[in-house]
Amino acid sequence: MDFIEKLGKISLKNRSLLCIGLDLDPSLMPEKVGVFEFNKAIIDATADLVSAYKPNIAFYEAMGREAMDELHETIEYMPQDIVKIMDAKRGDIGNTAKAYAKSLFDRFNVDAITASPYLGYDSLEPFIERRDRGVFILCRTSNKGAADFQSLPVGNEGKLLYEVVAEKVNEWNKYGNLGLVVGATFPEELKKIRTQYPQIPLLIPGVGAQGGELEKTVKYGADIGRQRTVINSSRQILYASRGKDFAEAAAKAARQLRDSINKYLD
């Protein structure tokens, strides 16, 4: 089963476009709860509510070797029918790009990754050529500084850089395994991208803690078939409680968000 088929099946099965970002911050986690223990509890409590999990590799790298081992363990523990996205934002050329692809797709065995287009097609080719895996390419990111480059006009036609990125990714999408990262914090840009590319998978960060408005995110970003949209939330769900009930609180927050997304789809 390739990435697109897997995403479509789990989105329909769980009636969910929700992705939980497993971005672990020890300062926000319950005391005396380990990395894998925390992730396992979150997964057990939410597996029927999501279409994907998205750990950001940086948080685990920052915690050291043991945390990286527990990241492996977490990915192996995730249910096989749920999409596993590694938020790594890789982007390099030649053998380095090949090594990144081997590390993420073979060593970690994730279904999809995030990547930067800044170095051009050859920096993404080793990922693209893995036809059964997905590549979400940074397009209009959710951070405040995104406009420093992504909103710059490019060429004689006056297109903005993020629009050119989307156009290029659409051209490169020969195997149908490419998607775009478009932040909920820029709803008009999200609407434009979805309108122009109705079938391309979108990974949409920025709802909740980053301030993205959920109703606009859903109405502007969701595809017609409800099978190619991934709406990510991290802190709002992970840290709903710092007590012993953290997993139950996470499940409650995830269910509320999943149901709110579905309400706006109707």
Active-site annotation, residues: 89
Which candidate, 155, 166, 250, places its Cα nearest to that of 201? 166
231 Cβ contact partners less than 8 Å away, ≥ 6 residues apart? 17, 18, 19, 184, 204, 207, 217, 218, 221, 261
Enter the DSSP assignment of 30: P
100 Cβ contact partners less than 8 Å away, ≥ 6 residues apart? 88, 90, 92, 126, 127
Q: Residue 72: which H helix or E strand, with range?
A: helix 65-77
Phi-psi region of 22 (alpha: psi -120 to 50; beta: other; left: phi over 0): beta
Assign 84 to helix, strand or coil.
strand
Burial of 131 from C-beta contacts in 10 A (0-12 / 13-18 / 19+): exposed
